[in-house]
């Protein structure tokens, strides 16, 4: 894993945390669901990118 990949991963994690924090203003369970769904989406996108 090179530095660029680590920085990309860090960026994705920060976006997910920010999105969850925004949703947490309205609903804490919604924030947990949003963070979980965003992690699954990020994982799917990363795996999809590796296959091509």
pLDDT tens-place string over residues 1-29: 666 778 888 899 999 999 999 999 999 99
pLDDT of 33 reads 95
pLDDT of the residue at 46: 82
pLDDT reported for residue 36: 94
C-alpha distance from residue 12 to each of 5, 21, 26 (Å) = 11, 14, 22
Higher pLDDT, 46 or 35: 35
Residue 35 domain boundaries: 3-51
Give the CA-trace dihedral at 19, 21, 26, 27, to 10 degrees. Answer: 90
Number of domains in the chain: 1
pLDDT-derived band of residue 52, with 50, 70 and 90 as boundaries? low
State residue 9's pLDDT score.
Answer: 87
């Amino acid at each position: 894993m090179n530095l660029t990949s680590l920085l990309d991963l860090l960026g994705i994690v920060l976006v997910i945390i920010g999105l969850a924090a925004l949703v947490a203003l309205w609903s804490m369970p919604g924030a947990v669901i949003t963070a979980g769904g965003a992690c699954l989406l990020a994982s799917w996108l990363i795996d999809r990118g590796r296959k091509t």
